[in-house]
Every structure is written in C-alpha cells, then in structure tokens.
C-alpha cells in the first residue's frame, strides 16, 4: 500500500518516514516568477536536496495548480478548469527521474517555451518532485511506504497586464466545537475577486467590530495569491468568543496597486444552530496608500 504525502508550492518543506529511514526533500526556489515575451525561451534550475540516510529516487512531473475554497493549494497533472491559464504545456523538466545520494543534492533544470501567439496575462503551473521506491525493492506492492512530494509554483507574466480586483463578499461561518469544548467557533471569510488577467497577492487586515464599535479581533490577510479571472476566499479563524448579536466585518486591503480598498459588512451571530446573516456586497471605498 502506498501513501502519498505532499505539501508545498507556496514556500513549504515536508518530510515523512519511509521504511526504517528518515526521508525528507528540500527545494530551492519554491516559487519562480518570470516576465517573458511571446515565443521566448527561458531556462533555470532548482536545487533538490535529500535529508535521507540512503539514496533516494525522485520523479519529476509537470503539474497544474489551483487554490481551493479552503485556501489549500491543489496540484494535479490535469485541472481542466485551468486550461486557459496554465503554463504546464510550456514547461519541461530535466532529468525526469533523479537519484540523489545520501544527504546529497543535485540541480534539476527547467525550461519554459512560450507560444508565439500567447496573449498578455499571467499564467501558472508547477514543478513537482515525488519520491519513488528504491530500485532494489523487488516487490513494492508488499507492505507500506510513504512517498513525499515537494512542489515549486511557477508564474509567468506576459506583457504588462494591469492588476484589477475588488472586495466581493464578507461573511461569518460556524466552526464545529473542538473536542475539548461544547462551544462552536467562528471564522470570518472575505472573498476577493480578480477581475483582470494578472494574479496578485493582497496585504492588509480584517477587523471584527462589535455593536459598541469596539474592535474585538484583528487578523492579517494570508500571503495567498489570487489567480487571474476568479474569486478567492480568505479564511480568518477567530480566536475571540462571539456572543450572539450584531457585528461588523471591516477590511483594509491593498491588492498591489498602491490603493487601499476598504469594505464593511454587517453580520449577525445567531444562537447555536442558526445561520449568521451576511452582507454579500459590502460597502467599499478607496483611499490612496
């Protein structure tokens, strides 16, 4: 039985046990961002390292990626919804199968070849590296092994597409009680809409304000990319206990244009078992940063 463990793409490192050896992979860089022109070719390299006390075989693969509504990066060989935005078909990796010596490293090369007719905009894909069973393992189907995948996200920008985005929706969502508690928790959700052909990474904060205009909690936006032409949820698990009543969710966010977008939405914390009200179209205003 095989179990695949993966976590990466936004700057994270993973490790997992395999048989009796400790196995871990490292990858530098874990994010590649390049500006290119139609028809251009670009090559670079990534340093792939092993922390294992034995030789490790690794397979390289070209991947699509997306970020789901739980803000988890999803890496797959094919994501049909990404067909118009993916750079997967332009990416090649060399070598495709790699053997790394004990606590060793090597350089994995990648090449990007853009079509001559590619349109202005940002495109994204990923390079993944997954451990394989040792070559001497005669019957990999017996027993259990742990495979590890580590991934680098790749962003290509063609031309000078403007960043266009807006605050779209605010709401509260109930979280089931923790094992050691009978009280349900809450998470605030802010949806940002990318209206353009260029991805962006917002910065800013969300405030929860009570009916006395007191700030109950302040949380920072996670450094999560909002890929082009879609809406992205940002989730803020709240630490403060919220009594039933009326609150405001107030956001201040910069999507990379130098302009602060501000939005406010009225929400209601209902008694347990009821659904909080939300304002799906928060009032917004803009001020120069």
Residue-level pLDDT at 17: 34
The secondary structure of 161-195 as a DSSP string is PPP-EEEEEEEEEEEPPPTT-SS-EEEEEEEEEE-
Query: How far is the C-alpha of 235 from the C-alpha of 210, rounded, in Å?
Result: 19
Q: pLDDT, tens digit, for every residue of 252-285?
A: 999 999 999 999 999 999 887 555 555 555 655 4
Q: pLDDT, tens digit, for every residue of 23-51?
A: 689 999 999 999 999 999 999 999 999 99
Residue-level pLDDT at 176: 86
Query: How far is the C-alpha of 190 from the C-alpha of 172, rounded, in Å?
Result: 9
pLDDT at 142 over 80: no
Question: Which pairing describes strands 203-209 and 145-158: parallel, antiparallel, or unpaired?
Answer: unpaired
Residue-level pLDDT at 178: 73
Count CA atoms closer than 13 A to 162's CA, side-chain side: 5
Q: pLDDT, tens digit, for every residue of 191-214?
A: 999 999 999 999 999 999 999 999
pLDDT at 187 over 70: yes
For the entire predicted model, the pTM comes to: 0.84
Q: Which domains does the chain carry?
A: 2-158 (2.60.40.10), 165-288 (2.60.40.10)
Residue-level pLDDT at 147: 87
Query: How far is the C-alpha of 200 from the C-alpha of 22, rounded, in Å?
Result: 37
The residue count of the chain comes to 289
Residue pair 149/6 in contact (Cβ under 8 Å)? The answer is: yes
Residue-level pLDDT at 24: 84
């Amino acid at each position: 039985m095989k179990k695949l463990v993966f976590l990466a793409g936004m700057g994270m490192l993973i490790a997992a046990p395999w048989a009796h050896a400790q196995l871990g992979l490292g990858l530098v860089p874990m994010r590649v961002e390049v500006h290119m022109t139609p028809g251009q070719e670009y090559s670079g390299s990534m340093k792939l390292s092993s922390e294992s006390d034995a030789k490790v075989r690794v397979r390289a693969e070209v991947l699509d990626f997306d970020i789901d509504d739980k803000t988890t990066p999803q890496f797959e060989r094919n994501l049909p919804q990404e067909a118009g935005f993916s750079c997967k078909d332009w990416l090649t990796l060399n070598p495709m199968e790699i053997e790394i010596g004990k606590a060793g490293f090597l350089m994995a090369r990648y090449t990007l070849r853009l079509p001559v007719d590619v349109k202005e905009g940002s495109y994204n894909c990923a390079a993944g590296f997954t451990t394989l069973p040792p070559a001497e393992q005669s019957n990999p189907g017996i027993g259990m092994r742990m495979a590890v995948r580590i991934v680098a996200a790749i962003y290509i920008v063609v031309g000078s597409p403007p960043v266009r985005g807006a605050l779209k929706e605010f709401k509260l969502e109930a979280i089931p009680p923790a094992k050691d508690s009978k009280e349900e928790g809450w998470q605030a959700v802010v949806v940002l809409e990318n209206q353009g052909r260029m991805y962006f990474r917002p910065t800013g904060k969300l405030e929860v304000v009570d009916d006395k205009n007191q700030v109950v909690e302040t949380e920072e936006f996670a450094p999560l990319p909002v890929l082009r032409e879609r809406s992205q949820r940002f989730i803020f698990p709240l630490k403060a206990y919220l009594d039933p009543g009326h609150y405001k969710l107030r956001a201040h966010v910069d999507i990379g244009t130098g302009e602060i977008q501000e939005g406010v939405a009225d929400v209601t914390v209902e008694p347990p078992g009821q659904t909080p009200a939300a304002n799906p179209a928060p009032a917004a205003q803009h001020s120069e940063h």
